[in-house]
Amino acid sequence: MEPSTHMPEPTGKPLLEAIDLTKRYEDGTLGLDHVSFSVAPGQVYAMLGGNGAGKTTTINLFLNFIEPTEGEARVAGIVTHKEPLQAKEKLAYVSENVLLYPNFTALQNLDFFARLGGKTNYTKDDYRRVLLRVGLQEEAHNRRLRGYSKGMRQKCGIAIAILKDAPAILLDEPTSGLDPKAAFEFIHLLESLREEGKAILMSTHDIFRAKEVADIVGIMNEGHLVMQRSHEDLVGEDLEKLYVEFMAGYMEEVA
């Protein structure tokens, strides 16, 4: 099935590209079926879909945690399954429900992951600035994460991704665990990252946030990209209604 597509003109060479990306698991399950899309610098792409739709599979393919059965995932033109280490240098990642190292403080966690990402010249002040930017209070910076709430840990995870300063960012359910205020702040953070020219691919269940921040919204169902719309196309549209319609339409087509 071809997705219903109304796309904005690309603003630059895509940093994230899925080209006929297909993943069939060893047990025969089709995780992703010939999915193609691209995310240019300064664009936010939101993948919507239920559980098992293929959102996390797509992100895993970009991270080369799994290899595609067909097609390619590219980061800044680098095919991820062929040159994974080079591709990962261009990627930052925020995972859903990351616990990080509970015996490390926020600063220690940031320091480790920043250095792991090749950033060795940051100071503690840099870490503090980023933590404040993601909304983590200063008094928490030197506390061990074992006492953190889910939302506080998520903020740390986002700070780690920001520190890497990679041109492309993958966000897997980034607002999961955030309270409404923190989710609101996160949207502003995404907007500022977009302004910095980052290409952002975000998987989410949150239709409201997706419509608010995304330049492109893709709806996925059972491994298929069933709809793709630009932000402009969605102005005045009820995305929730569209989502339900496209999901239902797809189900009918399959039936």
Partner 1 sequence: MFRLLVEKELREIIGTTKFAVTFGVCSVLILLAFYVGARNFQVSQAEYEAARAANIKQMEGLTEWTRIDHRIFLPPQPLATLVSGISNDIGRTTEMRTQGELRSENSRFNEDPIFAVFRFLDLEFIFSIVLSLFAILFAYDAINGEKERGTLRLSFANAVPRDKYILGKLVGAFLALAAPLLIPILVGCLMLPALGIPMNSGDWGRLAMVILSGYLYLGVFLTLSVFISALTEKSSTSFLLLLVVWIFAVLIIPRTAVLVAGRAVEVPSIDQVNYEKNRFMAQLWQEDREKMQSYSEDNPRSEDGDMQAWMEGFRKFMDELGTAREEKRREFGGRLNEDRRNREIVQQRLALGIARLSPTSVFSLASTDLAGTSLDLKQRYADAANLYQQTYAQFIREKTGQSGGFMITMRTGNEDEKPPEPIDPYEMPAFEFQEPSSNILVNEALLDVGLLMLFNIVFFIGAFVAFLRYDVR
List contacts with partner 1 (CB under 8 A). Answer: 60, 63, 65-66, 84-86, 88-89, 91-93, 95, 97-104, 108, 112-113, 115-118, 144, 157, 160, 164, 170
Minimal distance in Å, beta carbon 255 to partner 1? 31
Instruction: Name the minimum Å distance from CB 47 to partner 1.
Output: 17
CB of 201 to partner 1, least distance (A): 13
Point out which residues pair with 200 in neighbouring strands: 44, 169
Rounded distance between C-alpha atoms, residue 253 and residue 138, angstroms: 53
When the beta carbons of 60 and 175 are compared against partner 1, the nearer one is 60
57 vs 221 by CB, closer to partner 1: 57
Closest CB to partner 1 among residues 86, 137: 86
Bridge partners, residue 199, by sequence: 168
Q: How far is the CB of 171 from partner 1 (least distance, A)?
A: 11
Coil, helix or strand at residue 201: strand
Query: By C-beta, is 92 or 247 nearer to partner 1?
Result: 92
- Residue 141 tokens read as 């910076």
C-beta closer to partner 1: residue 96 or 233? 96
Q: Minimum CB separation from partner 1 for residue 85, in Å?
A: 4
Tell me, what amino acid is at 8? P
Secondary structure E strands in the chain: 4-6, 16-24, 30-39, 44-48, 70-75, 78-79, 91-94, 168-172, 199-204, 216-221, 224-230
Q: How far apart are CA 26 and CA 164, in angstroms?
A: 34
For the bound state, the minimum distance from the C-beta of residue 80 to partner 1, rounded and expressed in Å, comes to: 11
Q: How near is the Cβ of 117 to partner 1 at its closest, in Å? A: 5
**Residue 235, class by beta-carbon neighbours within 10 Å (0-12 exposed, 13-18 middle, 19+ buried)?**
exposed
Residue closer to partner 1, measured from CB, 108 or 230:
108
Nearer to partner 1, 100 or 136 (CB): 100
Q: Where are the alpha helices (DSSP H) in 148-215?
A: 150-164, 180-195, 207-213
Torsion over CA: 27, 33, 39, 44 (sign): negative
* Contact of 68 with 7, CB cutoff 8 Å: no
